[in-house]
Amino acid sequence: MIKLTVNGKEHEVDAAPDTPLLWVLRDLIGLTGTKYGCGQALCGACTVHLDGQPIRTCVTPLSSVGTRKVLTIEGLSPDRSHPVQLAWMELDVPQCGYCQSGQIMSAAALLARNPAPSDNDIDQAMAGNICRCGTYPRVRSAIHQAAKLLSTTDEKGG
């Protein structure tokens, strides 16, 4: 049994140490918001945060997680109130929606380290997330919008 902390909760899972974290999250813990798209860190659909850093879980062995904290889309907020989620809803970003958990987790990680990203910053941070539906224009707008929401929240002291 291997221990790991996901969305603030401790889990013990029975899986081979080389099992990619993606399948532990999806099949063993039941958090299916994180998606499988390529299995080779090419598409970003499986993005979660590991101690705040965006990682591709499809190539992250369970054994490498250790005591670091895993945050998935389900744990980003309890009620879709994270600024990225609010902006995503305001601009109706998703189409099919399959890549969106990964897009949102990449965007949230970007804003955590850079609260006012430029278009170029967005390009750098989001280039690893493929969207076959082509929601990129709205992804970009929504990240700017989320940055605005963040700054408003900060001004309010929240």
Partner 1 sequence: MTQVFTHDASRRSFLKGTAAFAGGLTIAVYLPGCSKPEEAAAPTSSGPVKANAWLHIGTDSKITFLCDRAEMGQGVYTALPTLVAEELGVEPKHIHVEFAPPGAEFVNGLLGAQVTGGSTSVRDAWGKLRAAGAEARERLLIAGGKALKGQPNLCRIIVNADGAGAVAMGNKSVPFGEVAAAAAALPKPQNVKLKAARDYKFIGKSLARLDTPSKVDGSAQFGIDVRLPGMLYAALAQSPTLGGTAKSFNADKAKSMPGVKHVLQTASGIVVVADSWWQAKQARDALQIEWDAGPNAKLNNAAIYAGLKAAAADTGQSVRKDGDADAALTASSRRMDAVYESAMLAHATLEPQNCTVEFRDGECHVHVPTQVQQFAQASAAKASGLPAEKIFVHTTFLGGGYGRRLETDFIPPAVEAAKAAGKPVKLLWTREDDMTHDLYRPPARDPVAGAFGADGRVSAFKLQIVGPSVTARWAPSVVANGALDPFAVEAAHNFPYAVPNVRIDYIRHEIGVDVGYWRSVSHALNCFAVESFIDELASQTEDDPYEFRRGLLWNHKDARWLGVLDVAARHAGWGNAPKGRFQGIALMSGYDSYLAQVVEISVEGSKLKIHRIVCVADCGQIVNRSIVEAQVEGSIIFGLSAALFGDINIEAGKVSQRNFDTYRTLRINEIPKIEVHMINSDDKPGGMGEPAVALVAPALCNAIFTATGKRIRSLPIAKQGFTI
List interacting residues with partner 1 (CB under 8 A). Answer: 15-16, 19-20, 23, 26-28, 30-40, 42-43, 45, 72-74, 76-77, 80, 85, 88-89, 92-101, 104, 122-124, 126-140
> Do the Cβ atoms of 62 and 2 come closer than 8 Å?
yes
Beta bridge partners of 3: 12
Nearer Cβ to partner 1, position 134 or 157? 134
Beta pairing class for 47-50 and 53-56: antiparallel
Nearest approach, Cβ of residue 12 and partner 1 (Å) = 15
CA 126 to CA 118: how far, in whole Å?
12
Nearest approach, Cβ of residue 127 and partner 1 (Å) = 5
Which element (helix H / strand E) includes 86?
helix 83-90
Nearest approach, Cβ of residue 6 and partner 1 (Å) = 13
- Phi/psi at 31 (5° precision): -95, 95
> Do the Cβ atoms of 37 and 99 come closer than 8 Å?
yes
Nearest approach, Cβ of residue 157 and partner 1 (Å) = 26
Nearer Cβ to partner 1, position 108 or 155? 108
* C-alpha 21: how far from chain center: 14
Nearer Cβ to partner 1, position 4 or 93? 93
Nearer Cβ to partner 1, position 129 or 145? 129
